[in-house]
């Protein structure tokens, strides 16, 4: 969305970067209003840094509340249109009880809102494992479906996938572990604007101070060029720049350390520059066919062309910063601030879909026509998840989940379930 900014927000001759004020994840897939053939997008990634004498481990950035990735310019939010339960294909067939744990996690946050407090209290009364019929009756009785439409009133959009990857790394730098996983830099200014200009909600301004001016923050290329001088803590050092790149694409993951322990990290912030797909760049260069530009295809190309890795990564000026997460087994933390549930959590554009809300998703499994019709919870956001009918489906942890996520680029439809006492604004 393009906004006319107050004069004090205009930087002479430069673009001021605004991003949606949400959270976390760092879901990055290129925006699309229409669904093209399979092609997986990518996001920022750290770059190999020169290896001087081993430094002392850098302090870890404080686990502040996750901020949101940059908004994709030109993608208008959608709207919600009243629907009937009979409009939801597969609603009666879904193993709806599998979504109950995700719904309970949404209620950890939603119960603080008066509009949701009653339905969350009723959910508490049903316990942790209500049977399918009880769960369906709960939603049928207390909620009303609203179909998600795009700005042009169309009802179909893009559904991609993401997962929690595992990479190998170390808290100490070495020739083997040479690629930094950065925390939030000390010189980045991040300002929420809603308190001064309500029309800018939920946008955030990111930049840095140069003299008496606020200018755009460093691009990915700039971060790489600064090397050790870049003013950000290093949470850990990765042993594989390609694996680290896709950790940034996903926005959260686990780092396996040499002693066998794990460091869990998640999205903390982003440099404010718009996401640009390196998969699309490879296709435009003739390096890959459109059907080959999946996560796996990009990985193969990068490993086969190490001398062009820097060139490839620099096509995307966006850069993601991480924060350490609690070492628990519940799952990675999404933008809502609760752990995600495999195949029952999605990332959405919060300008259209309320975070935490139940959503019925009608799509297909990766590269097939096999229906995937699930009740899911809107518990995450992503810098490329913009527009009305747009979702990123969380597949879970590990290689199998990554294989599904890397291939997923399907058409889909969405219905938001709101309490009967609540209507869209």
Tens digit of each residue's pLDDT (9 = 90 or more) over 277-303: 899 999 999 999 998 988 889 999 999
What pLDDT score was predicted for residue 356?
A: 98
Residue 214: per-residue pLDDT = 92
What is d(CA 405, CA 38) in angstroms, rounded to the nearest whole number?
11
Number of H helices, E strands in the chain: 9, 18
**pLDDT of res. 166:** 94
Place of tokens 């997008």: 41
How does DSSP assign 269-311, residue by residue?
A: EE-SPPP--HHHHHHHTTSS-GGG-SHHHHHHHHHH-GGGHHH
| Phi, psi (degrees; rounded to nearest 5) at 202 | -105, 50
**Residue 162 forms beta bridges with which residues?**
394
Q: Are 217 and 208 in contact (CB under 8 A)?
A: yes
Q: What is the DSSP letter of 378?
A: E
Judge contact between 48 and 245, C-beta under 8 A: no
Q: Which residues contact residue 274 at a Cβ distance below 8 angstroms, ignoring those fewer than 6 apart?
A: 17, 70, 72, 73, 317, 318
Contact, 267 vs 252, CB < 8 A? yes
H or E element: which one contains 401?
helix 399-407
Asked if residues 319 and 249 have their Cβ atoms less than 8 Å apart, the reply is no
Q: Do strands 143-149 and 234-238 pair parallel, antiparallel, or not at all (unpaired)? A: unpaired
Q: Residues in the chain with pLDDT < 50?
A: 1-16, 20-73
Are 45 and 244 within 8 A, CB to CB? yes
Q: What are the structure tokens assigned to 263, written together?
A: 């460091």
pLDDT at site 228 = 94
Tell me the two tokens of residue 157: 């959009």
pLDDT of residue 18: 52
Amino acid 202: pLDDT: 62
- Report which of 158, 155, 189, 142 is spatially closest to residue 38, judged by C-alpha positions: 158
Q: Residue 138 belongs to what H/E stretch?
A: helix 132-142
Locus of tokens 């938001």:
416
The C-alpha atoms of residue 1 and residue 3 are separated, in whole angstroms, by 6
Q: What residue ranges define each of the domains in the chain, with the CATH number in brackets?
A: 7-81+149-419 (2.40.240.50)
Other CB atoms within 10 Å distance of the CB of residue 362 = 21
Note the pLDDT of residue 201: 66
């Amino acid at each position: 969305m393009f906004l006319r900014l107050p004069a004090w927000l205009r930087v002479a001759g430069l673009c001021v970067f605004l991003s949606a004020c949400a959270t976390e994840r760092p879901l990055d897939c290129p925006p699309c209003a229409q669904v093209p053939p399979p092609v997986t997008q990518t996001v920022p990634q750290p770059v190999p840094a020169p290896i001087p004498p081993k430094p002392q481990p850098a302090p870890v950035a404080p686990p502040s509340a996750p901020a949101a990735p940059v908004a994709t310019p030109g993608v208008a939010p959608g709207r919600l249109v009243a629907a009937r339960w009979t409009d939801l294909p597969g609603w009666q067939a879904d193993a709806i009880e599998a979504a109950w744990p995700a719904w309970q996690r949404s209620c950890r946050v939603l119960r603080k809102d008066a509009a949701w407090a009653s339905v969350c209290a009723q959910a508490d009364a049903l316990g942790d494992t209500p049977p399918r019929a009880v769960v369906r009756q709960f939603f049928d009785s207390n909620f009303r479906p609203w179909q998600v439409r795009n700005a042009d009133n169309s009802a179909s959009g893009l559904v991609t996938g993401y997962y929690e990857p595992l990479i190998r790394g170390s808290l100490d730098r070495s020739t083997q572990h040479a690629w930094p996983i950065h925390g939030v830099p000390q010189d980045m200014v991040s300002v929420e604007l809603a308190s001064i200009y309500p029309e800018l909600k939920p946008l955030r301004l990111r930049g840095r101070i140069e003299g008496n001016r606020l200018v755009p923050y460093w691009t990915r290329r700039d971060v790489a060029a600064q090397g050790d001088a870049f003013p950000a803590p290093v949470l850990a050092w990765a042993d594989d720049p390609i694996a680290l790149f896709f950790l940034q694409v996903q926005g959260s993951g686990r780092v396996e350390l040499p002693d066998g322990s794990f460091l869990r990290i998640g999205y903390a912030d982003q440099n404010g520059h718009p996401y640009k797909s390196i998969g699309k760049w490879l296709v435009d260069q003739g390096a890959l066919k459109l059907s080959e530009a999946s996560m796996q295809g990009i990985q193969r190309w990068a490993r086969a062309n190490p001398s062009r890795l820097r060139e490839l990564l620099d096509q995307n000026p966006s850069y993601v910063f991480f924060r350490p997460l609690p070492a628990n087994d519940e799952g990675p933390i999404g933008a809502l601030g609760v752990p995600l549930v495999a195949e029952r959590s999605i990332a959405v554009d919060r300008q259209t879909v309320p975070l935490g809300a139940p959503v019925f998703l009608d799509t297909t499994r990766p590269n097939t026509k096999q229906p995937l019709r699930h009740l899911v919870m809107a518990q995450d956001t992503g810098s490329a998840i913009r527009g009305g009918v747009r979702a990123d489906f969380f597949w879970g942890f590990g290689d199998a989940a990554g294989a599904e996520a890397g291939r997923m680029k399907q058409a889909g439809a969405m219905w938001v379930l709101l309490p009967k006492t609540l209507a869209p604004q």
